[in-house]
A and B are shown apart, each in its own frame.
Chain A
Amino acid sequence: MSSLLNSYFVKTHKLEISITIIAIVLFLIYFLGAPHVFTRFPIYRAFMQSMPFFGIIAISATFVVTLGEIDLSFPSIVGITSLIFGIIMTSTDGNFFIAFILATSLGMFAGLVNGLLVTKIGIPSIVATIGTLFFWRGLVNVISQGSGIAIVDVADGTWHHMIFVEKLFGKIPMQFIWFIVLTGLMQWVYRYHKFGNHIHFVGDNKASAQMMGINVDNVKIIAFVQLGFFSALAGIFTMYEMLYFWPTQGEGLMLTTLAAVFVGGTSVFGGKGTIFGTFIGVLIIGSLESGIVALGLSGFYVKFINGLMITVAVTVYALIQRRKN
């Protein structure tokens, strides 16, 4: 047992192991407290259906947080790119390729704006992205004039609808498959690609990274751009699921998404993080609401317990960090 605890894998994956244990305990509580819900498939199908919408963004945002930066504008990037997707789908009679390319390009452009404000102008990311948060949402309101767009006629029953959100074998929502695939891919990039490596060094110590020949500005800009892309992608998934655009689309995503990243164990100080942890964070944060209600507590507890989880998690991680130093 002690040799197991001292093994290389355990030593280097303490965070991932702790967060996994927390998730298991949480699901055990659900399971024991509400067996009538948690021994049946529908609840898991509901999870698999809803988690990817913010999960995809959380995975992508892990890169930005590892940089020691933050992006608060992604809910509005989801909004503006979904709007554009809806407008183009309806006006081209369902031309998926044009709609997809334009919506994701706009997402990347919005990310580029964030990246340039942070690196070239030098505005702290928390401030810069509050600005763009309002800007893109404002633009959504101006363009949409407050009304929604139905894409049901041009999207329902199409092959793209099928590959985005229909059920595999009639059971597994496609968006969850995509979410798993993207998580694996991003984990690989995060740990084993030059870009992921540079993200860690820039987040750890910007000045040192610069002296080691890493182009700090470019790394940051690319991080914001990829978050813009994945925000657009998450918006498109939501559009296919709902078959409708509404002007507040994306607004509810901010807290759950960032909570998943922080609960997952990515350091708020930058330089250290885990994609797997974020994935588990998504499972935890995404299951809390239904879990709490299924346990028989009233819905009023959801935010409270959510807040408790986040505060305790970031405190524990900060303490672990401090002990190391």
Chain B
Amino acid sequence: MAEELLKLENIYKNFGNVKVLKDVNIKINKGEVVALIGDNGAGKSTLIKVITGVHSPNSGKVFFKEEEVQIKSVAQSRKMGIEAVYQERALCDQQELFRNIFAGREITNSFGFLDIKKQRKEAEKILRDYIGFTSKAITVDSPVMGLSGGEKQGVAFGRSLYFNSDLIVLDEPTMGLSIQETEKVLNFVKGLKNENKSAIFIDHNIIHVYGAADRFIILDRGEVVGEFNKEDISREELVQKMIQLHESGKIKVED
């Protein structure tokens, strides 16, 4: 029996009168990559923002490592071991790489002054060991703005590995990337399993999702409408399900 890492129970989230999440129940095990799929507005992004502490749910319970938790902030979810790699690419363009890697959890002395030397050294390690940057044009002092989409994504990944998170949340990690860069990202996701890390993976491209994930959770208008293990469904069947959902608003569940 796989060990449970994260469990959401009866999660509801409203923005004003709009019910974005309705009674969502999901579970993620250690070493498992779960894909969240669904149309725009299905609630995928909101769901992961609940997990990473950007939004608080209106009701429902969250369990992490089998303990009930209330995730109130990004800082807290990070401390617990949840790390997000966002679609908006949470990096600030004009700031140097090493500052970006440590933003929000700077290495400081007790007066709050940064240990620049250590941050640069550690950032260099991340670039070299986790991301495999070898280009001389990119150093820890380069502003993020000069990086390609894939390189930015790489920095975000490297950051999550360095901070040794248990659960990595990937929001559209292949969006806007070249084929080569997409390949790198997918390999990275597959590599997570070897380290017994878990991931939640959102992507519009079912082909990408199918290759990288172990399990698929389909969201539609704020509800979980289907859940499949990879061994139980072929790629074509999954695509069929999505088309069906798109056309009829329902998924036919056959046992």
CA distance A188 to B109 in the complex (A): 14
In the assembled complex, B84 has its CB within 8 A of some CB on chain A: yes
Q: Mark A173-197, 1 if CB is under 8 A from B, else 0.
A: 0000000000000001000111101
Using C-beta atoms within 8 Å of the partner chain, give the interface range for chain B.
20 to 34
A200's contact among B84, B95, B113, by CB below 8 Å, is which?
A: B95
Q: Mark A198-217, 1 if CB is under 8 A from B, else 0.
A: 10110011011111111100
CA distance A325 to B146 in the complex (A): 9
CA distance A200 to B93 in the complex (A): 11
Given A213-B104, A214-B103, answer yes or no on A201-B141 (Cβ-Cβ < 8 Å).
no
Within 97-125 of B, Cβ neighbours of A (below 8 Å) are at 99-100, 103-106, 108, 111-114, 116
CA distance A193 to B114 in the complex (A): 5
The CB with the most chain B CB atoms within 10 A, among A194, A214, A215, A324, is that of A194
Q: How many interface residues does A have (CB within 8 Å)?
A: 26
Total A-B contacts with CB atoms under 8 angstroms apart: 78
In the assembled complex, A220 has its CB within 8 A of some CB on chain B: no
Q: Which residues on the B side are within 8 Å of A12 (C-beta)? A: 141
Q: Which residues on the A side are within 8 Å of B91 (C-beta)? A: 208
Which chain A residue has the least Cβ–Cβ distance from B91? A208
CA distance A215 to B104 in the complex (A): 9
Q: Mark A262-273, 1 if CB is under 8 A from B, else 0.
A: 000000000110
Q: What are 21 A-B contacts with C-beta separation under 8 Å?
A: A188-B113, A193-B108, A193-B112, A193-B113, A195-B112, A200-B92, A201-B103, A205-B92, A205-B93, A210-B74, A211-B54, A211-B74, A211-B86, A212-B104, A213-B78, A213-B103, A213-B104, A215-B73, A271-B93, A272-B94, A325-B145
Which chain A residue has the least Cβ–Cβ distance from B86? A211
In the assembled complex, B239 has its CB within 8 A of some CB on chain A: no
Q: Which residues on the B side are within 8 Å of A193 (C-beta)? A: 108, 111-114
In the assembled complex, B89 has its CB within 8 A of some CB on chain A: yes
In the assembled complex, B20 has its CB within 8 A of some CB on chain A: no
Task: Please state if B92 and A194 are interface contacts (CB–CB under 8 Å).
Answer: no
CA distance A174 to B68 in the complex (A): 59
In the assembled complex, B88 has its CB within 8 A of some CB on chain A: yes
Which chain B residue has the least Cβ–Cβ distance from A8? B141
Nearest CB in chain B: distance from A206 CB, A: 10
Nearest CB in chain B: distance from A50 CB, A: 32
Given A208-B90, A211-B90, A271-B94, answer yes or no on A192-B74 (Cβ-Cβ < 8 Å).
no
Task: Please state if A208 and B92 are interface contacts (CB–CB under 8 Å).
Answer: yes
Q: 20 more A-B contacts (CB under 8 A) besides A195-B112, A204-B94, A325-B145? A: A188-B113, A193-B108, A193-B112, A193-B114, A194-B112, A200-B94, A201-B92, A201-B95, A204-B92, A205-B92, A210-B54, A210-B74, A211-B54, A211-B86, A212-B100, A214-B103, A214-B104, A271-B92, A271-B93, A271-B95
